[in-house]
Structure 1
Amino acid sequence: MNTLNKAIVIAGPTGVGKTKISIDLAKLLNAEIISSDSAQVYKGLNIGTAKISEKEKQGVEHHLIDIVEPIAKYSVGNFEKDVNRILNQNPEKNFMLVGGTGLYINSVTNGLSVLPEADKKTREYLASLDNQTLLELALKYDEEATKEIHPNNRVRLERVVEVFMLTNKKFSELSKKNIKNNNFKFLKIALERNREELYDRINKRVDIMFEESLVKEVENLYKIYGEKLYSLNIIGYNELIDYFNGLSSLEEANYKIKLNSRHYAKRQFTWFKADKEYVWFNLSEVSEEEVVKRVHTLFNIKS
């Protein structure tokens, strides 16, 4: 009979303070950390993603940082496969998933739905249809999924029709059937702070990024990768690319990075709050040391 292995998730919004707690806890548990951040997989995107330094790691093994070039496509599907390979090949080790990309974390803890890959011929056929015909087909094949999509959103409508044409099954049904590809039970921990404090931390962190030469980092990367860097749509990079292209001043770029980071933190908070399995700790009310102590206890008593 297979035993269920245990792992920990340390999640929460950007700037909340996941790094220090995860390092302290990893040292206590002799655990390895799997970065669960959709931006930190990219090489060279260091300052703007608040990527952990070698000094900050304090000897703790980290996975899935700096694994692909910014021109490479890396998706939730890639992440799910990479993480499950690490977990399943090392069942005797303690692991922690640390980050703020909820969709990525969820793909490992809850599984992913199995949908067919894009088919070139089908896509070419669908691209040839006018909007009305495409909408009618989508409604015919999967009304439930289609009614959630804006009539002008061709990408999503094409995907609904494509899935049905390739599988003869509805996208709305297949997308709800998640398959979990590991034998781990996850203790889910989420960190928060009072909103004013969190937003102040985010604003200060952006100013520190500018002091640490974020502008130079983005400028160098933009020279190498061009618009492919912009297409990654990562906060801190797109705003400065707009500045380089004369669409804003440097002060406006700084302001937009702070604003977009705060909005992102709010969306992250909403995502994690929706998952009732998370145990929450408010770092405005409890010390980091106390959180580490309590999570360590929870991990040892949870079966």
Structure 2
Amino acid sequence: MSKVIAIVGPTASGKSSLSILAAKRLGGEIISADSMQVYQGMDIGTAKITEAEMEGIEHHLIDIQPLNEAWNVKLFQQMCRQKIEEIQARHHVPILCGGTGLYVKAALYDYAFEEEDPKEAKIMAEVSQWSNEQLFAYLQQEDPQALEKIHPNNRQRLLRAVVMAKSGKRKSDREANQKHEPIYDVYMIGLKDDRQIEIERIDQRVDQMFEQGLAE
């Protein structure tokens, strides 16, 4: 299988710095697995890496999507896998840096996304009127296994699971049919620092965002 490096970890844990160091030493190119840095214009609030900070290393899937156009994990999966092929064709090492855990898993593992069902839009319009409590209660009856991975306040995931259950394709059934095996030879690096240090770094980053004009 093709080799891919993935560097993951919480905000302000040093993922970008390590990915650049790895790219320099291994002849790599970096693919952002951040669900927000993909948008054009959202530079400050997403702590988007600057051209100077890239240190001459090629970065992909940053600043490519207009704010008024849809972006989701399925699109990311398609584009990320395409970038991996292109980077490997140049005999470079693809390095995923993220970010958003679901995006990393969707790109590197055997995640399959079904084609949109036209009736799902009608179902979504109906259940969007429900409260989180109603969504949760419905799933307790129809797909309790799905709730093991969904927080009661995560409305988007509750909605999606309810829509799937109502359309006859339960979330838990779909996940059970996936092997969750990597489709690449993945070397995963997880960064974790002392929580207090991470909080201080995040505070510093937020202060810097406001200095750069975030409130405007």
* TM range, smaller chain: 0.7 to 0.9
Task: State the partner residue of 1:275.
Answer: none
Looking at structure 1, the residues matched to 180 and 137 of structure 2 have their Cα atoms a distance apart, in angstroms, of 34
Which residue among 16, 22, 27 is the counterpart of 1:25?
Answer: 22
Equivalent residue for 1:124?
122
The count of corresponding residues between Structure 1 and Structure 2 is: 203
**Higher helix content, 1 or 2:** 1
Give me the whole-angstrom Cα distance separating, in 2, the residues matched to 1:172 and 1:34: 30
Q: Can you list the C-alpha shifts for 1:107-157, whole angstroms capped at 9, x where unaligned? A: 1222313334141x45436756997xx9999789x544577687x966532
- Alignment-mate amino acid for residue 71 of structure 1: N
SS at match of 1:192: coil
1:6 aligns with 2:11: no
Whole-angstrom distance in 2 between the partners of 1:81 and 1:114: 11
**CA distance in structure 2 between the aligned counterparts of 1:7 and 1:20, rounded to whole angstroms:** 18
Distance of 2:201 and 2:15 partners within structure 1? 13
Residue in 2 that maps onto 1:67: 64
Name the residue aligned to 1:228. Answer: none
Q: How does 1:95-110 map to 2 (within 5 A)?
A: 95-110=94-109
CA distance in 2, matches of 1:137, 1:211: 45
Secondary structure of the residue aligned to 1:175 is helix
- Report the equivalent of 2:83: 86
Q: Secondary structure at the match of 1:107?
A: helix
Does the CA contact (< 8 Å) of 1:114 and 1:178 recur in 2? no
Closer, same or farther: CA 44–74 of 1 in aligned 2, 3 Å: same
Question: What is residue 50 of structure 1 aligned with on the other side?
Answer: 47
Identity of aligned residues (%): 33
Letter in 1 for 2:204: K
CA–CA distance in structure 2, aligned partners of residues 147 and 208 of structure 1:
38
User: CA–CA distance in 2 between the matches of 1:68 and 1:38?
Assistant: 11
Q: 1:208 to 1:179 in 2, by over 3 A?
A: same
Q: CA offsets per residue over residues 62-105 of structure 1, 9 Å max, x none?
A: 00001111122111111111111111244332110001211100
Where relative contact order (Cα < 8 A, 6+ residues apart) is larger, the structure is: 2
Call closer, same or farther: CA 1:178–1:207 in 2, change over 3 Å.
same
Work out whether residues 143 and 170 of structure 2, in 8 Å CA contact, stay in contact via their aligned partners in 1: no
1:223 corresponds to = none
Matches within 5 A, 1:184-263: 184-216=184-216
User: What letter is aligned with 1:82?
Assistant: M
Q: How far apart, in 1, do the equivalents of 2:196 and 2:137 lie?
A: 47
Distance (whole Å) between structure 2 residues aligned to residue 207 and residue 156 of structure 1: 37
Whole-angstrom distance in 2 between the partners of 1:182 and 1:56: 31
Q: Match of 1:59, as an amino acid?
A: G
Which of these two proteins has the greater Rg computed from alpha carbons? 1
Give the superposed CA RMSD. Answer: 3.2
CA distance in 1 between counterparts of 2:159 and 2:183 reads 38
Distance 1:125 1:193 in 2: 43
Contact 2:13 2:191 in 1 (8 A): yes
SS of 2:11's equivalent?
Answer: coil
Matched, 1:161 2:169: no
What's the secondary structure of 1:213's corresponding residue?
A: coil
- The farther-off stretch of 96-105 and 81-90 is 81-90
Offset, 1:30: 1.0
Name the CA distance, whole Å, in 1 between partners of 2:61 and 2:181: 18
**Mapped partners of 1:135, 1:195: distance in 2:** 31
TM-score w.r.t. structure 2 length? 0.79
Q: What are the ranges of 5 or more consecutive residues in structure 1 without an aligned counterpart?
A: 217-303
